[in-house]
Structure 1
Amino acid sequence: MGKALLVAWGHEFVDEVLDGLGSNTEVEVVVGKPTVDQWRNAPLVVIDGRCKTLASGMPTHLRMVVVAPAVLDGDRLATLYRGWQDDYPEVPVYHLPTGFDAVRQLVVEAAAGTQRPEVRIGVVGGHGGAGATTVATALAMAAAHDGRRTILVDANAPGGVDDRLGTPMRDLRVVNSLAPAYILDRHAGDVKVVDLSRSLNEDQIAAAGLCDLVLLVANVQRNALVTRQVAARLAVKGARFAVLPTWAHDDAAQALAEEFRVQFLDEVPLDPPSVFSDGRVHLIDSCHLFEMARTLLARAPYFAARVAA
């Protein structure tokens, strides 16, 4: 629960919005540029559409809406709309007074705390062929299937995720990028899944640090040395991660989790007959892989809290 943040260029815009929202609706008002903490902590950001610089340099916000005051119309309104859509394609733009009902509903939901928090999950393989890309794809597909706006960032071998997708998903967008931290901070979505490279360069590590949880996928008992190197890299940089073995009764994986004091999860059910067709992942309701993916999505923030404890 909390107050929406109203970011305005001037006091006239504040008065127009507050009058339209009604006396029973409370918001936090900032005239000028807010602090990063104000921006991050607000359940909803309502921003004056006339001044895009108010949002420049700020991290992406899952619930940000742009409001165009009533004085704008015609070409000026069209120019404002195009300008915001060029840089923030996922952010809705509402024109007053017709947009008041939609904005009021969003403010009420923010105050009631009925919005889901954004979930960010990174996936990295402890060795080649571990199944990390398959797990990342399954997570993203499960989230999109449940109606959540999902971004799947292919930061490992751009194009590899596309090769895995077997079921088209309306709410799933794949972004190929070797700069995943930028994508996480600049693109809005309910769920963001990043397929990381096990090389874990500085940008990859930065992205891992932005995730609620990073899943280290590996058959550790057969690839102990290289998997431990990946785990050590994550630990040194302070990433919140958990070990996800691909082999049943992997005592080496459990020992690795104990060494780094992170969560040890049940083995990933990579079941080729029920998941794959020509190397692609398909959404099958009875598939154990997708059941696991939904569980991880629901529990990721809590896993992260236990890992950090």
Structure 2
Amino acid sequence: MTDQLLVLVGPDLADDVARCAAAAGYRMLRADPDHCRREWPRADAVVADVSATRVLAELGPPRRAGVVVVTDHEPAEDIWRCAMRLGADRALTLPSEESILVGLLTDLRAPQANPAGAVAVVGGHGGAGATTLAAAVALVAAEDSARVLLFDVDEFGAGIDLTLGIEDRAGLRWQDLTLEGGAVRARSLHSALPQVNDRLSVLAPRRESRLPISVDAVIATMDAGRVNGDTVVVDLPRTAGVVSDAVLDSVDLVVLVTSAGVHGVAASRTVAAWLDERGIAAMSAVRGPAPSGLRAAEVATAVGLPLLTAYRSDPGLPGRMESGRLRVPSRSPLGRAARAVYRKVAVGERLVA
């Protein structure tokens, strides 16, 4: 696969950077510096101009390797401080230093560990089963991934920690995190959160608290996990807001869960339209059976999203969860659906809305 170069430059430098990218063997990925949180950890290298560097320094994405600042004039002194916050240690003047930029980009093509994928699971309607599927995806991912972070950002829900049977375990909840534009290290985060096992850590709201979840905390923790190579799974409410927007700006894929009934499909179409308006790469997971006899592919078409997986409800699951925590046998319908979602994100393919 061709290496990706995240290009955050204005039109005055676009042609110069394009020549360098082509010479070094990169495919250019253009983005707005205000909305590049999804691309920031996944690109193999980043080229940013002075304006983008200032914007990024204010937004505070995690430091990363492979960042180069470019300019067409001598940069101001404050640019060095901004660049160092991002992980950049070079500022090059174009076009006079194009050969140096090509050399740097070529050197950066050495194999590096890629960040793992991030997926959000959202219900198309009440009772769709999004929380259960999100928890199942995290459990399946923990069987293969070195580290998994499971985030529940629905402050009015019962809590995904309850689904997993770890609601009484010690550790931080969302309301305990006060990160205003700051960064957090993934290793410290794992040790501070309630854990299902040594691979899966969970961050959920504190049910007795009425404090809102901090969007800065959501951004910092998602960035930390992705840069560290953790698989990130988010149980996302079907309501718009700054927290939901921050999640959608960071994940690679959104899976919309819907039952196969008429009312479920009608409600899910509204959520699918919301995702489409934001340009989000989304697919559907259809939970049957369909009372009307519709096939899963027909349900997905009616919702307006490609079908990722379909699975039958397990009538015994609610009773088992009442008496313990969620277990996901690999051959169960839920287990196969969760594995399909995890595989889609784990392969690291670029998903386009």
Cross-structure match for 1:227:
268
How far apart in 2 are the matches of 1:193 and 1:160?
14
SS in 1 for 2:61: coil
Taking a change above 3 Å as real, the CA distance of residues 39 and 204 of structure 1, as seen in their structure-2 partners, is closer
Cross-structure match for 2:198:
170
Show CA shifts across 1:224-246 (max 9, x none): 33211111111111111111111
Amino acid at match of 2:268: T
Alpha-carbon offset, residue 307 of structure 1: 5.2
Taking a change above 3 Å as real, the CA distance of residues 292 and 252 of structure 1, as seen in their structure-2 partners, is closer
Can you give the 5+ residue segments of structure 1 that lack an aligned partner in the other structure?
3-34, 46-53, 65-109
Cross-structure match for 1:300:
345
How far apart in 2 are the matches of 1:268 and 1:274?
13
Amino acid at match of 1:112: P
> Match for 2:322 among 278, 288, 291?
278
Cross-structure match for 2:307:
264
SS in 1 for 2:262: coil
Amino acid at match of 1:164: T
CA contact (8 A) 1:123 1:215 kept: yes
How far apart in 1 are the matches of 2:286 and 2:43?
37
How far apart in 1 are the matches of 2:274 and 2:267?
11
Q: 1:102-117, aligned counterparts within 5 Å? A: 111-113=110-112, 115-117=113-115
> Match for 2:256 among 193, 201, 216?
216
Amino acid at match of 2:322: D
Cα RMSD over matched residues? 4.0
Taking a change above 3 Å as real, the CA distance of residues 270 and 209 of structure 1, as seen in their structure-2 partners, is farther
Q: Percent identity?
A: 30
Is 1:206 aligned to residue 249 of structure 2? no
Greater alpha carbon shift after TM alignment, 298-307 vs 168-177: 298-307
CA contact (8 A) 2:308 2:341 kept: no
Greater length-normalized contact order (CA 8 Å, ≥ 6 residues apart): 2
Taking a change above 3 Å as real, the CA distance of residues 305 and 187 of structure 1, as seen in their structure-2 partners, is closer
How far apart in 1 are the matches of 2:124 and 2:271?
6
Alpha-carbon offset, residue 41 of structure 1: 5.5
> Match for 1:120 among 101, 118, 121?
118
Greater alpha carbon shift after TM alignment, 234-243 vs 161-170: 161-170
CA contact (8 A) 1:242 1:262 kept: yes
Cross-structure match for 2:72:
none
Alpha-carbon offset, residue 39 of structure 1: 6.4
Show CA shifts across 1:140-159 (max 9, x none): 11111224311111012465
SS in 2 for 1:112: coil
Cross-structure match for 2:22:
none
Q: 1:8-157, aligned counterparts within 5 Å? A: 40=41, 57-60=59-62, 111-113=110-112, 115-156=113-154, 157=156
SS in 2 for 1:290: helix
Alpha-carbon offset, residue 193 of structure 1: 0.6
Taking a change above 3 Å as real, the CA distance of residues 268 and 201 of structure 1, as seen in their structure-2 partners, is farther
Alpha-carbon offset, residue 166 of structure 1: 4.3
CA contact (8 A) 1:243 1:262 kept: yes
CA contact (8 A) 1:137 1:165 kept: yes
Amino acid at match of 1:233: W
How far apart in 2 are the matches of 1:248 and 1:304?
30
Alignment: residue pair count: 224
Show CA shifts across 1:146-186 (max 9, x none): 24311111012465101111483211111125334443224
Alpha-carbon offset, residue 55 of structure 1: 8.7
Can you give the 5+ residue segments of structure 2 that lack an aligned partner in the other structure?
4-32, 47-55, 66-108, 167-195, 206-212
How far apart in 2 are the matches of 1:44 and 1:120?
19
> Match for 2:237 among 188, 197, 200?
197
Taking a change above 3 Å as real, the CA distance of residues 191 and 230 of structure 1, as seen in their structure-2 partners, is same
TM-score, normalised to structure 1, is 0.58
Alpha-carbon offset, residue 270 of structure 1: 3.6
How far apart in 2 are the matches of 1:145 and 1:301?
12
